[in-house]
A = this chain, B = another copy of it.
Amino acid sequence: MTDARELNEREQQILQAVVNSYITTADPVGSRSVVKRFELGLSPATVRNVMADLEEMGYLQQIHTSSGRIPTDAGYRYYVNYLMHVQELTLRERNRIEHEFTEKLNDADEVLQHTSQLLALISNQAGLAESPGDDHAYVNRIEVMSVSTHRVVMLIVDNYGRVRTQTVNLDEAVHPEQLQALSRFLNDHLYRVRLDGLAGAIENQLKNFLDERRKTAELALRLLGLAPQQTRKQLFLEGAGHLFAQPEFQGVDRAKEVFDLFEERTVLTEVLRNALADERRVNASIHIGRIGDNFGLEDISVVASPYYCKDEPIGMIGVLGPRRMPYSRLTSIVDFTAGMVSRMLTRLAR
């Protein structure tokens, strides 16, 4: 990789040919097959020279002398940024996706779970969908009730229609009147407060409360403190099996690595998050190669796109597959689907 000079037209053509060919066949591609498949009006020898240049610049690599070339991460990156023409979805495909979202979906989690399934199905890769985290969700309604003498359930409905329950065990019994007061208090003071700032919202006002109200506030704080923090952003992952069908994951060791990756959802969430920061040409951002530092997997790519609620970015959806994946199609799919999710969510949170 000597310098990063611009590629001339022929180089671009050939890089594109190599990437396209490799994406569909998974075989290293040689000079002869390039001229045959793409009819460039050149001889294999010329193509070889160009390929040698591309290799020197770091866009292609050989798995060993005298095998064809395959794209490097940089090669894919160049292809994705400058060469790929996004393959628009057909009307039929768009209708299909839209149709999927007419189903009865009551809250954001249902929407996103469904989304990950849908993405897996139509992309033939693994589908990912992050559900809105506590930093983007607000209390719509909050209710407390006792379920036994020393046990209390707190029920929180957020602006995405999700219902979350948290059970808390108390040391002492609570009177029904106390609970009623507590419910009123919570609804008064936590309405539209962000889910990750419930305790903080009350603490801030604590000094303004007197007597009974103060007691109620302190009880509220105790409850919130005892409730298990299930703040972890949920990540829906569907269709993992598709990956095992790909030739690059045939080896047992590889398969094991993929399996382990799927167990570690936090890492995946991380990747999705970082994808946002990546340079991007189209709406979808694309992560190419090696995920995290602890996983041996170099051969993973992610195509992800943010979804919005009322123009505010909330989370990401996307697909995950082998590095050799049909980016041009997937970006369209992911983008379009993200748009649908945004619309659904905005409607839910009305």
Q: Mark A15-32, 1 if CB is under 8 A from B, else 0.
A: 000000000000000000
Interface residues of A in 85-110 (CB under 8 A from B): 104, 106-107
Instruction: Identify which of B141, B161, B163 contacts A165 (C-beta below 8 A).
Output: B163
A72 at the interface (CB under 8 A from B): no
* Cα–Cα distance between A291 and B338 once the two chains are bound (Å): 40
Interface residues of A in 158-192 (CB under 8 A from B): 161, 163, 165, 167, 169
Residues of B within 8 A of A153 (CB): 155, 157, 163
Q: Is the CB of B256 within 8 A of A241?
A: yes
Q: A141-B147, A155-B155, A241-B256 are in contact. List 7 more A-B contacts (CB 8 A).
A: A106-B167, A147-B163, A151-B161, A240-B259, A244-B259, A255-B255, A259-B259
Q: Is the CB of B255 within 8 A of A241?
A: no
Shortest distance in angstroms between A259's beta carbon and chain B's nearest beta carbon? Answer: 6
Residues of B within 8 A of A161 (CB): 147, 151, 167
- Interface extent on A, as a size class? 20 to 34
* Cα–Cα distance between A163 and B251 once the two chains are bound (Å): 44
Residues of B within 8 A of A43 (CB): none
A145 at the interface (CB under 8 A from B): yes
Q: Is the CB of A255 within 8 A of B260?
A: no
Interface residues of A in 231-272 (CB under 8 A from B): 240-241, 244, 250-252, 255-256, 259-260, 263
- Complex: chain B residue closest to A140, CB-CB: B147
A55 at the interface (CB under 8 A from B): no
Q: Mark A120-153, 1 if CB is under 8 A from B, else 0.
A: 0000000000000000000011010101100101
* Cα–Cα distance between A188 and B86 once the two chains are bound (Å): 62
Shortest distance in angstroms between A187's beta carbon and chain B's nearest beta carbon? Answer: 12
Shortest distance in angstroms between A88's beta carbon and chain B's nearest beta carbon? Answer: 33
Instruction: Identify which of B107, B163, B169, B241 contacts A106 (C-beta below 8 A).
Output: B169
Residues of B within 8 A of A260 (CB): 241
Given the interface pairs A244-B255, A244-B259, A250-B252, the reply to whether A163 lies near B167 with Cβ below 8 Å is yes
Shortest distance in angstroms between A191's beta carbon and chain B's nearest beta carbon? Answer: 13
Q: Is the CB of A107 within 8 A of B167?
A: yes
Residues of B within 8 A of A151 (CB): 161
Residues of B within 8 A of A147 (CB): 140-141, 157, 161, 163
Shortest distance in angstroms between A154's beta carbon and chain B's nearest beta carbon? Answer: 10
Residues of B within 8 A of A252 (CB): 244, 250-252, 255
Residues of B within 8 A of A250 (CB): 252
* Cα–Cα distance between A99 and B165 once the two chains are bound (Å): 28
